[in-house]
A = this chain, B = another copy of it.
Amino acid sequence: MAEPLYLQISGRLRQGILTGEYKPEDMLPSENELAARYSTSRVTVRKSLGVLESEGLVRPWHGKGYFVQPPKYTMFTLYFGDDATDGRFRFQEVTILRPEKDVAEKLLLKKHQMAIVTRRILERDDRVVAYDEKFVPYERGVPSIEFELHFTEFPHMFEERFAPMSLHTEMTIGMETAPEHVCAALSLAADKPLLVVGRLIRASDDKPVGFAKQYLTEAFGKLSARSGYYTQEKL
């Protein structure tokens, strides 16, 4: 048994879908039909259909059958991380300050509540290509984490205090005219628009625990993503 039977079946069906033998909206042979055709049990057939379902190629409809899904191209997968790039980070400063309104709102800071800010510069081939800012709400009595702020990838900082799996990140990508201190650090003309990636980290109760903002110059390059045949609309 080189290849398990269920993979043989799903492979054969996938081929049928990709070559157009089964077209979108078409119904696949029923589980019983397939079980008979391959002289196997319904459980094995179901497992093979589960493979196609997880690939988004097919969806079952209770009481009717399995239907080939039309492809959706609107879902992309993007890789992005603190250290997902070449280059070297140069630490700039750690301070405690009251952040701008947009950041304060994202972190749900109380009036006059401060935030710990870490600032870094990304250098590549002796060129400054990005500027990196991280904000964490400052609370008295909570062990300070400023010393590790520039060592680890951002979300990892919170793993000790929150159950690690309970964090998630919301990312926004846009263009902003950079504030003065960023332009200065990047040796750019003031008010130059930059590609800005913001990442808001929330705990499982949706409470924001940190916000990172990265200003990317043209020298940084572009972000890239990829879409497959995603069909799930779990939302």
Number of interface residues of A (CB under 8 A): 55
Distance between Cα atoms of A154 and B193 in the complex (Å): 29
A54 at the interface (CB under 8 A from B): yes
A60 at the interface (CB under 8 A from B): no
In angstroms, how far is the closest chain B Cβ from the Cβ of A60? Answer: 15
In angstroms, how far is the closest chain B Cβ from the Cβ of A150? Answer: 17
Distance between Cα atoms of A135 and B70 in the complex (Å): 23
Whether A174 touches B221, Cβ cut-off 8 Å, given contacts A169-B226, A204-B18, is: yes
Chain B residues within an 8 Å CB radius of A79: 74-76
A168 at the interface (CB under 8 A from B): yes
Interface residues of A in 76-91 (CB under 8 A from B): 76-81, 84
**B71 touching A225 by the CB < 8 A rule?**
no
**A165 touching B225 by the CB < 8 A rule?**
no
**B222 touching A174 by the CB < 8 A rule?**
yes
A17 at the interface (CB under 8 A from B): yes
**B172 touching A78 by the CB < 8 A rule?**
no
**A78 touching B77 by the CB < 8 A rule?**
yes
Distance between Cα atoms of A172 and B75 in the complex (Å): 14
Whether A164 touches B70, Cβ cut-off 8 Å, given contacts A171-B76, A227-B171, is: yes
In angstroms, how far is the closest chain B Cβ from the Cβ of A204? Answer: 6
A96 at the interface (CB under 8 A from B): no
A228 at the interface (CB under 8 A from B): yes
Task: Tell me the nearest residue of chain B to A24, going by C-beta.
Answer: B164
Instruction: Give a binary string over A91-129; 1 marks a CB under 8 Å from any B CB, 0 the rest.
Output: 000000000000000000000000000000000000000
Chain B residues within an 8 Å CB radius of A168: 226-229
The 6 closest A-B pairs by CB, nearest first: A174-B222, A74-B81, A20-B163, A173-B223, A73-B155, A171-B225
